[in-house]
Every structure is written in structure tokens, then in C-alpha cells.
């Protein structure tokens, strides 16, 4: 799975629940996860959600020899569980929607730059040129529970936490939980509201210090991709982990971070990466054409831009511009 720095991308802000609050913190999918549940059914529901997240981690982790994704990459294709097939199909759908700015076959490039195993290095132009032909989500085919990779290798880390948070939230609701907040390494999912009001979730400042603003979430999620989450320096230049599948290099889009807000956490997870790679102009074209999500953009010059659907749901700490 995609490795995430310990520093949260989005920080939950909430007061104590009434009458009861239970919290569970654990490590899965290469990140610290925290689930807070309000209500009397909390303990059993938390255990169910935690178990489900560990199960999905074991099924989807690219580096785990027992996982379905590991076996798929090793064999180049084969039968997988209906869940894994559905997730891969969803990832391909988002890839096609974004002209492959989000691409689960980007693994050879993230490996080349050392972001997967933290063996950071700047590859040569020849190495990048050799890796680029191995990337291309359009070559992956899913038919029922059978997946053919077409010579590619997949890494679902850019969508798995969103997918997993949705499933965990569903389990909580099935067990009678009406109010909860799931923070999966910065992928934040709100179940219901908090004491009749939206959950308050802060969007981090890429430069550190005070957050750029606070989002109100009710039965929605917020997922951030940013150049400050994972990076290394070489000869005075910073290289971040969000690779443009078309260039084979860290994306240079004029953005520092993108936070996507919507009801579909898997979509938000994939789109946060895609919109960062696309840059704000193309990202807004997609938002206007497709809808179904809202976004907060932090530009390289420090400017904050918020799509119109977040009016009244975003409280700025330093000013922002609404885009329509």
C-alpha cells in the first residue's frame, strides 16, 4: 500500500461526544488509523470496523506475499475475489475519467523513484523512458472476477484507503452507529453528524503552521493529496511522491495540495491524486463537466481556491477564492 507520513493530511477537530465516546487507534495499510464512535454500541462496532480494515489490508497490500494483489502482479492475471475485482474496476473507471492522471499501473515509476520502499533516488532519463511503456491502465481488463494485467503491475494504494473507509463506515452503520469519524492516515470519513452539527475537519497548510481552513462534514469524506506528504531532497531540489504517469516524474501542476470532498470515499481518494496531477484548470474542467465532488486547492503561490459547492461548509483561516 501507499506509504504515508505520520503527519496527518487532514486533522479532525471535535469535542467530547455525549453520552459516550470510544476511540480505537491502530496501524494498517502502512498508516496510523483512528476511529471515533459515539454511542452505546461503540465497542463491538469498533472491533468489527478494525477487523475489516485489517482484512482488506491483507487482501490488497502489494508487498504482502499473501495478498491477492501480490499474486496478481506475480502471475500477470488470474481470478480474484469479487471485492478486489470491483475495486480494480472502480480504479480503472476513475483512471479513464481523468485521462489516466490517476493510474493504478504507475507502480514501476514509484518503484523507480524509491517511493515504495523509501530507497529514494533520482532516476536517469533512460530509466524513466524504459519504465514509461510499462504504465497504462487501459491495458488492464476485468471480466467478472478475472483480471488480466496486460504486462502491467498494479498498486491500489491510491484508492484502497478510500474504499476501505467506506466499507468500515458501512459496518458501523449496520451496527447502529449514527455518529463516527474515521481517520485513515488523513483519509477522513464522517458518519452522520456530531451532536447535531457537522464534524469539523481541518485542511492542513502545506507549509506547516496553522491550517488553511476547516471543512464541515456530515455523511461525507475528505481526502487530501499534497506534495508535502512524502518527498526527498537531492542536490538542493525537492522531489515529491505524486508521479505524473505521462511524464514519469513528480507532477509539476502548480499545486501544493488538493482536498476532495464527496460522499464516495473511493472516488475522493482517486480524484485527489488525479486533480493534483492535472492542475487546477483541468481539474475544474472535470468538476464542471462531471460534478459529484467538491475540492479545496492550495496553489504553489499559497492561494486557496474552493469550489462553489463548499460555500458555507468551508471556514478559511487566511482567505480564499470561490471558483465556479
The CATH code of the domain that includes 23 is: 3.10.520.10
φ/ψ of residue 99, rounded to 5: 55, 35
pLDDT at residue 5, rounded to an integer: 31
Co-location of 76 and 195 in the same domain = no
Question: What per-residue confidence (pLDDT) applies to 11?
Answer: 46
Please, are residues 313 and 203 in contact by the beta-carbon 8 Å criterion?
no
Same domain? 200 vs 305 = yes
pLDDT the model gives residue 8: 39
Q: Report residue 145's pLDDT band, with 50, 70 and 90 as the boundaries.
A: very high
Q: Check residue 318 and give its pLDDT.
A: 86
Statement to judge: residues 112 and 167 lie in one domain: no
In a domain, 2, yes or no: no
pLDDT digits over 203-216, tens only?
Answer: 999 998 889 999 99
Residues 209 and 79 both lie in one domain? no
Band of pLDDT at residue 3, cut at 50, 70 and 90: very low
Percent of all residues in the chain with a pLDDT value above 70, rounded to a whole number? 94
Q: Does residue 1 form part of some domain? A: no
Task: Tell whether 73 and 147 lie within a shared domain.
Answer: yes
Q: Which CATH number characterizes residue 127's domain?
A: 1.10.3980.10
Residues 241, 109, 75, CA angle at the centre, nearest 5°?
A: 125
**How confident is the model at residue 18, as a pLDDT?**
52
Q: Does residue 3 sit within a domain?
A: no
pLDDT higher at 290 or 43: 290
Pick the closest to residue 228 from 251, 256, 254, 255 (CA basis).
256
* Separation in Å, CA 143 to CA 82, 94, 136, 267, 311: 10, 17, 18, 21, 41
Count: domains in the chain: 2
Rounded to the nearest angstrom, the gap between the alpha carbon of residue 278 and the centroid of all alpha carbons in its chain is: 16
pTM for the model stands at 0.92
CB atoms within 10 A of CB 15: 10
Query: Are both 189 and 168 inside the same structural domain?
Result: yes
Which tens digit of pLDDT belongs to each residue from 266-289?
999 999 999 999 999 999 999 999
What pLDDT does residue 113 have? 97
Shared-domain flag, residues 43 and 182: yes
Residues 184 and 141 in one domain: no
Per residue in 81-125, pLDDT (tens digit) is 999 999 999 999 999 999 999 999 999 999 999 999 999 999 999
Query: CB-based contacts of 271: which residues, under 8 Å, 6+ apart?
Result: 94, 98, 102, 223, 260, 262, 293, 295
Domain C-terminal end among 132, 158, 184: 158
Q: Which residues of 267-283 are buried (b: 16+ CB within 10 A; e: fewer)?
A: bbbbbbbbbbbbbbebb
Last residue of a domain, one of 142, 158, 174: 158
Phi, psi of 318 (to 5 degrees): -155, 15
Structural domain range at position 217: 10-59+160-323
Structure confidence at residue 208 (pLDDT): 86
In angstroms, the CA 311 to CA 215 distance is 10
Q: Is the domain of 173 the same as that of 146?
A: no
Amino acid at each position: 500500500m501507499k506509504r504515508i507520513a505520520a503527519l496527518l493530511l487532514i486533522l479532525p477537530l471535535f469535542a467530547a461526544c455525549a453520552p459516550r465516546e470510544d476511540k480505537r487507534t491502530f496501524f494498517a495499510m502502512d498508516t496510523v488509523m483512528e476511529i471515533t464512535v459515539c454511542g452505546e454500541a461503540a465497542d463491538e462496532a469498533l472491533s468489527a470496523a478494525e477487523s475489516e480494515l485489517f482484512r482488506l489490508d491483507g487482501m490488497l497490500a502489494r508487498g504482502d506475499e499473501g495478498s491477492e494483489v501480490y499474486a496478481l502482479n506475480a502471475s500477470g492475471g488470474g481470478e480474484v475475489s469479487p471485492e478486489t475485482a470491483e475495486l480494480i474496476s472502480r480504479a480503472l473507471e476513475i483512471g479513464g475519467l481523468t485521462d489516466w492522471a490517476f493510474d493504478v499501473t504507475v507502480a514501476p515509476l514509484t518503484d523507480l523513484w524509491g517511493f515504495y520502499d523509501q530507497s529514494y533516488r533520482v532516476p536517469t532519463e533512460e530509466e524513466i523512458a524504459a519504465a514509461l511503456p510499462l504504465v497504462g491502465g487501459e491495458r488492464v481488463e476485468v471480466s467478472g472476477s478475472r483480471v488480466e494485467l496486460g504486462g502491467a503491475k498494479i498498486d491500489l494504494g491510491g484508492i484502497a484507503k478510500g474504499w476501505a473507509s467506506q466499507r468500515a463506515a458501512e459496518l458501523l452503520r449496520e451496527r447502529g452507529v449514527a455518529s463516527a469519524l474515521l481517520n485513515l492516515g488523513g483519509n477522513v470519513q464522517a458518519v452522520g453528524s456530531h451532536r447535531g452539527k457537522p464534524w469539523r475537519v481541518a485542511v492542513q497548510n502545506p507549509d506547516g503552521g496553522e491550517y488553511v481552513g476547516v471543512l464541515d462534514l456530515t455523511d461525507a469524506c475528505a481526502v487530501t493529496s499534497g506534495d508535502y506528504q512524502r518527498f526527498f531532497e537531492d542536490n538542493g531540489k525537492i522531489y515529491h511522491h505524486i508521479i505524473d504517469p505521462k511524464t514519469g516524474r513528480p507532477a509539476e501542476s502548480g499545486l501544493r495540495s488538493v482536498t476532495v470532498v464527496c460522499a464516495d470515499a473511493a472516488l475522493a481518494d482517486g480524484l485527489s491524486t488525479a486533480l493534483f496531477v492535472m492542475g487546477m484548470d483541468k481539474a475544474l474542467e472535470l468538476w464542471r463537466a462531471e460534478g459529484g465532488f467538491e475540492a479545496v486547492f492550495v496553489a504553489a503561490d499559497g492561494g486557496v481556491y474552493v469550489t462553489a459547492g463548499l460555500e458555507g461548509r468551508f471556514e478559511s483561516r487566511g482567505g480564499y477564492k470561490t471558483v465556479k
